[in-house]
């Protein structure tokens, strides 16, 4: 018997509003010991996902030093000074979750076989995917949830059997 999404999904989803600051998101993820969270709009609809990776990439892109070999030493120094000035000004305006989130929401139906979910997650390089029933999000499957398939002998046996 095939194992379905609803059998391994985590039904409780901790979502964050898109208006939260990046710092508040970081605290939320850390406090809840999770690496990502769905993002909701003002009406509570999920509009994206924000992860620790999004925070890291934003910080790295804001501070990295791109060296362009076509610039003279003086031009490189001026470009670096301008980047630092812009970054300092950006720090005065809070960066919101909507500014760093991934606006793509991938999902599978509760009746989707886990083999198909694993294929999607591998192909799209996902660490989490939403689970839906009648187009309403009812849960989330993370890489941790997929590990249940290996640690639970009964689930492992069911996955090995094809129908």
DSSP class per residue in 122-154: HHHT-SEEEEEETTEEEEEEEHHHHHHHHH-HH
pLDDT at 136 over 80: yes
For the full predicted model, state whether its pTM sits above 0.85: no
Q: Which residues contact 46 (CB under 8 A, 6 or more apart)?
A: 15, 38, 39, 40, 105, 130, 137
Q: Where are the domains of the chain?
A: 5-56+96-160
Instruction: Report which of residues 42 and 66 the model is more confident about.
Output: 42
Rounded to whole angstroms, the Cα distance separating 131 from 109 reads 6
Quick one: pLDDT at residue 14? 86
Task: Give the chain's mean pLDDT.
Answer: 85
pLDDT in tens, 113-128: 999 999 999 999 999 9
Between 34 and 163, the higher pLDDT residue: 34
Round to whole Å and give the CA distance between 2 and 155. Answer: 9
> Residue 9: is its pLDDT beyond 60?
yes
pLDDT, tens only, 42-63:
988 889 999 999 988 887 765 5
Q: Encoding tokens for residue 77?
A: 């120094």
5-56+96-160 classified as CATH 3.40.1360.10: no
Quick one: 33 exposed, middle or buried, by C-beta within 10 A (0-12, 13-18, 19+)? Answer: exposed
């Amino acid at each position: 018997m095939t194992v379905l999404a609803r059998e391994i999904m985590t039904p409780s989803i901790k979502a964050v509003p898109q208006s939260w600051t990046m710092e508040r998101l970081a605290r939320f993820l850390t406090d809840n010991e999770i690496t990502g969270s769905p993002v909701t709009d003002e009406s509570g609809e999920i509009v994206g996902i924000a992860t620790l990776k999004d925070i890291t990439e934003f910080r790295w892109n804001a501070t990295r030093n791109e060296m362009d070999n076509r610039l003279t030493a003086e031009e490189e120094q001026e470009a670096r000074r301008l980047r630092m000035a812009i970054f300092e000004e950006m720090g005065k305006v809070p960066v919101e979750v909507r500014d760093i989130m991934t606006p793509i929401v991938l999902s599978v139906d509760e009746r989707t076989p886990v083999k198909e979910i694993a294929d999607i997650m591998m192909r799209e390089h996902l660490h989490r995917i939403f689970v839906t029933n009648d187009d309403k999000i009812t849960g989330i499957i993370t890489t941790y949830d997929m590990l249940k398939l290996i640690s639970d002998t009964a689930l492992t046996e069911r996955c090995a059997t094809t129908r």
